[in-house]
């Protein structure tokens, strides 16, 4: 079965510093990986995805993620954090085969807090 793990429940970073939110995955076959962000009392918003190609994926709001096949990781990064980046971040992997094709499996989420 496909799964993702987000090892940190919380990440705290000062404004202006780089941030990393970690994600590791376990899949059979090639992974289709996603990052979403959730602001308080809102639905999830798509940030970026990796399907194939370049290992460095650029997304919305200045975020990027690096796909690392040997380490089975897909960490979310941003060079300079903003207070407005404070939110709940979810990593997800999508099933690409068989009867469960299309299902999206989410990690438990990482709460990012950026201090001014």
Partner 1 sequence: NAGVTQTPKFQVLKTGQSMTLQCAQDMNHEYMSWYRQDPGMGLRLIHYSVGAGITDQGEVPNGYNVSRSTTEDFPLRLLSAAPSQTSVYFCASSRQRNTGELFFGEGSRLTVL
Our CB check for partner 1 shows the closer of 41 and 70 to be 41
Least Å distance, CB 16 to partner 1, is 29
Our CB check for partner 1 shows the closer of 75 and 105 to be 105
Closest CA to 57 of 39, 38, 73, 81: 73
Our CB check for partner 1 shows the closer of 58 and 103 to be 103
Residue ranges in contact with partner 1 by CB under 8 A = 9, 32, 34, 36, 41-46, 49, 51, 90, 94-96, 99, 101-109
Work out the burial of residue 24: count CB atoms within 10 Å of its CB; fewer than 13 is exposed, 13-18 middle, 19 or more buried.
Answer: middle
Rg of the chain in Å (alpha carbons): 14
């Amino acid at each position: 079965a496909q799964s993702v793990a987000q090892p940190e429940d919380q990440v705290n970073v000062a404004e202006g510093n780089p941030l990393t939110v970690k994600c590791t995955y376990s899949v059979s076959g090639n992974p289709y990986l996603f990052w979403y962000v959730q602001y308080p009392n809102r639905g999830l918003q798509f940030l970026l995805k990796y399907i194939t190609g370049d290992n460095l994926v650029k997304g919305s709001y200045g975020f990027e993620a690096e796909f690392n096949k040997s380490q089975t990781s897909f960490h979310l990064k941003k060079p300079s954090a903003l207070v407005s980046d404070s939110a709940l971040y979810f990593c997800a992997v999508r099933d690409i085969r068989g009867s469960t094709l299309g299902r999206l499996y989410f990690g438990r989420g990482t709460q990012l807090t950026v201090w001014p």
